[in-house]
Structure 1
Amino acid sequence: MEELGEMDCPVLKRFLKDDSGKCLLLDCRSFLAYSAGHIRGAVNARCNTIVRRRAKGAVLSMDQILAGDEEVRGRLRSGMYSAAVLYDERTPDAETVKEDSTLMVVLNALNRDASGTHIYLLKGGYDRFFSEYPEYCLKTKSLPPLTSQSSIDSGCSSCGTPHHDQGGPVEILPFLYLGSALHASKKEVLDSIGISALLNVSADCPNHFEGAYQYKCIPVEDNHKEDISCWFLEAIEFIDSVRDSSGRVLVHCQAGISRSATICLAYLMKRKRVRLDEAFEFVRRRRSIISPNFSFMGQLLQFESQLLATSCAAEAAATVSPLLGPKSSTTATSTSATPTSPFIFNFPVSVVNSAYLHHGPITTSPGC
């Protein structure tokens, strides 16, 4: 395989230590694997399986492989990287790279769009590098629980947050946290994790610290008649606006189980280009009690179908960025007006994947 050189782990370590700005590190594993742990500075390079099938063997572009990473693509096209290093879980050498693997898809895209950049495979992949240089890897960190049991028991009585709530809010992405009304009522908790904005996904939970944080309200109830999907795009834009201002947002409802989890799932599906089952497992690993109600799961499935249709249409038209829409440059503000939903909701309960029911019941009662 003439296009792909090989790099040993000690060589990559020297690159990362001495000249990391010249080396583009591409993690070719799944979103879940990348999120659980990756080499410092690595970018997750992946492609939606539907788009790959529709491409029918054609070489995909880096715009599709790295949709959402505009700065990386720009540096790549400008020849600012002297080397691009690819890795998966444990492929030992270039000769064993499979033709249908993500590694091969990314290699072909680099050969098409990044002329002049030397391309290497990291021998042994993430497993070997982590075993030799764990200090150069980032592993998923768990947040500490709330300071004491008494702080949990004090609760947020006005919101009816149950006392079985898990520890503290959990980090979904570096700028996105998921939690409950209890967490939103504890200023010391919000400050300890650097929260600058709160997305309140409830009709009756108060905003406790107006003036101290930026707030946005999505006034929905947790029942099968509620259309939460009509808020997806507005919520995503609000989260993006917080991210773009280098802030952190806590998405919460009453218990942090159904409504706020639904918004986080929609964000991951839209911005990280992942399927619902992968997004669900990713969030569940961080907050195991999440359980969107049947109606919300149906709306998420419909949102997934819409995103996939958009992706395939974009591929057919050879457009840039198959799933990502433009970033919002407008700072969102709190509103109670219901926007027009872009989704027609007509969902039979039977279409819900039974895998989502495996880790606990999907709730239908209000207050989650």
Structure 2
Amino acid sequence: MTGLVLIEPTELYNILNQRTVYPCLSDTNFLLLLDARKKLEYDESHVICAKRAPCSEDEIFSVPYDAELECKTHVIVYDSNCRTLREKGRAVKCASTMAGNGSKNPVKILRGGYEDFSAMYPFLRTQKIIYLPQELDVLNTYPCEILPSILYIGTKDQACSKTVHKDLKIQAHLNMSHSTDAFFTGEDKSTYLQIPIEDNCEADFSSHIPRILDFIANNRKTLRTMLVWSDRGISRSAAACIAYLMTYYKWPLKDAWRHIKTCKFTVRLNRGLVRQLSDYEEKLHENRMTNVDDPNY
């Protein structure tokens, strides 16, 4: 349907957990998340920061009075368990209303609705309806999900969070910094690997790629959930994830980069890491398939 797209639960999870200095949810123009279920269901529990979509008794939806659809980067709608855009359920009806009333981007509908999302991410359920700006400014975010329930990318603060480890069931760490790990040690080589490189253009990343790939592959085989982290979680940790995606999926650098940026919008590798990943691409594919001189990289 025109103006509507279906998204997976992991995409909503990642949108909710984007941050720069502050959580992106604290930006009023970042996200409008609408719960199209009935009031009783919404009051019982809903996704964090979701607003109940205004709806008449005969299921005619209207735009929230303060929606400012033309300003929102993301407009996302969910109901109980919408599976396709062909359904004529509450989510599609609500999303169509938002799309027809000025949303500047396609309106996203959550596949599987609240049922699937809350089953995958129960820690993002709440009964809280109103968030003050100062509450959103200090909201704790989770690491972004690169491969659902397998691979996450995060910061030092997230790597040291008991809540993160409990909720995501983190079982292994790949530490791409000089910082000390709060949960794992070098004693168990199967669950902890530290690659202490500097975040600068002169740092040697290439020689560590085989160890990084082996660590992620071995933990994936044993079904351990992994967190790849560095101090800010935007450069060295991202390079490690990109190298793995290039290897496992046989992707060129540009495709692995695109996937990482889709999961974590703030990723920004230093130029030294980009050049080394370009060299690795040539080694994998016997060709440089990505123009790293493009300012997008």
TM range (shorter): 0.5 to 0.7
Say if 2:135 is the partner of 1:195. no
Candidates 279, 282, 296, aligned match of 1:302: 279
- 2:141 matched residue in structure 1: 167
Q: Where does the alignment leave 5 or more consecutive residues of structure 2 unmatched? A: 1-6, 10-82, 88-110
Q: Distance between the aligned counterparts of 2:226 and 2:270, measured in 1? A: 23
1:271-330 CA-to-partner distances (Å, cap 9, x unmatched) read 0111111111111111111001001001111111111029xxxxxxxxxxxxxxxxxxxx
- 1:55 matched residue in structure 2: none
Candidates 76, 79, 85, aligned match of 1:131: 85
Say if 2:267 is the partner of 1:267. no
- 1:256 matched residue in structure 2: 233
- 2:155 matched residue in structure 1: 180
Q: Distance between the aligned counterparts of 1:216 and 1:210, measured in 2? A: 9
Say if 2:292 is the partner of 1:352. yes
Distance 1:291 1:260, change over 3 A: same
Q: TM-score, normalised by structure 2?
A: 0.52
Distance 1:233 1:352, change over 3 A: same
Is contact 1:179–1:252 with CA below 8 Å preserved after alignment?
yes
- 1:206 matched residue in structure 2: 180
Q: Distance between the aligned counterparts of 1:304 and 1:275, measured in 2? A: 6
Is contact 1:177–1:250 with CA below 8 Å preserved after alignment?
yes
- 1:125 matched residue in structure 2: none
**Paired residue type of 1:182:** D
Q: Distance between the aligned counterparts of 1:200 and 1:264, measured in 2? A: 12
Is contact 1:171–1:177 with CA below 8 Å preserved after alignment?
yes
Distance 1:239 1:152, change over 3 A: farther
Is contact 2:156–2:229 with CA below 8 Å preserved after alignment?
yes
**Paired residue type of 1:172:** I
**Paired residue type of 2:249:** K
Q: Distance between the aligned counterparts of 2:137 and 2:210, measured in 1? A: 33
Q: Distance between the aligned counterparts of 1:140 and 1:353, measured in 2? A: 39
**Paired residue type of 2:154:** G
**Paired residue type of 1:273:** K
How far does residue 198 in structure 1 lie from its aligned partner after superposition? 0.4
How far does residue 232 in structure 1 lie from its aligned partner after superposition? 1.2
How far does residue 130 in structure 1 lie from its aligned partner after superposition? 3.0
Distance 1:254 1:298, change over 3 A: same
1:211-244 CA-to-partner distances (Å, cap 9, x unmatched) read 6983210010011111111111211110111111
Q: Distance between the aligned counterparts of 1:267 and 1:233, measured in 2? A: 10
- 1:228 matched residue in structure 2: 205
Q: Distance between the aligned counterparts of 2:145 and 2:258, measured in 1? A: 14
How far does residue 210 in structure 1 lie from its aligned partner after superposition? 3.2
Is contact 1:294–1:352 with CA below 8 Å preserved after alignment?
no
How far does residue 135 in structure 1 lie from its aligned partner after superposition? 4.7
1:26-80 CA-to-partner distances (Å, cap 9, x unmatched) read xxxxxxxxxx659xxxxxxxxxxxxxxxxxxxxxxxxxxxxxxxxxxxxxxxxxx
1:89-126 CA-to-partner distances (Å, cap 9, x unmatched) read xxxxxxxxxxxxxxxxxxxxxxxxxxxxxxxxxxxxxx
Q: Distance between the aligned counterparts of 1:356 and 1:186, measured in 2? A: 32
How far does residue 168 in structure 1 lie from its aligned partner after superposition? 1.3
**Paired residue type of 2:251:** V
Q: TM-score, normalised by structure 1?
A: 0.43
Q: Distance between the aligned counterparts of 1:132 and 1:231, measured in 2? A: 48
Q: Distance between the aligned counterparts of 2:135 and 2:276, measured in 1? A: 38
Identity %: 29
**Which structure has the greater CA radius of gyration?**
1
Distance 1:194 1:210, change over 3 A: same
How far does residue 255 in structure 1 lie from its aligned partner after superposition? 0.3
Is contact 1:201–1:217 with CA below 8 Å preserved after alignment?
yes
How far does residue 140 in structure 1 lie from its aligned partner after superposition? 9.5
1:127-152 CA-to-partner distances (Å, cap 9, x unmatched) read xx83347559xx9999778x998999
Is contact 1:222–1:258 with CA below 8 Å preserved after alignment?
yes
Is contact 2:174–2:194 with CA below 8 Å preserved after alignment?
yes
Q: Where does the alignment leave 5 or more consecutive residues of structure 1 unmatched? A: 1-35, 39-128, 154-162, 311-350, 358-368
Is contact 1:207–1:215 with CA below 8 Å preserved after alignment?
no
Aligned pair count reads 179
Q: Distance between the aligned counterparts of 1:189 and 1:208, measured in 2? A: 12
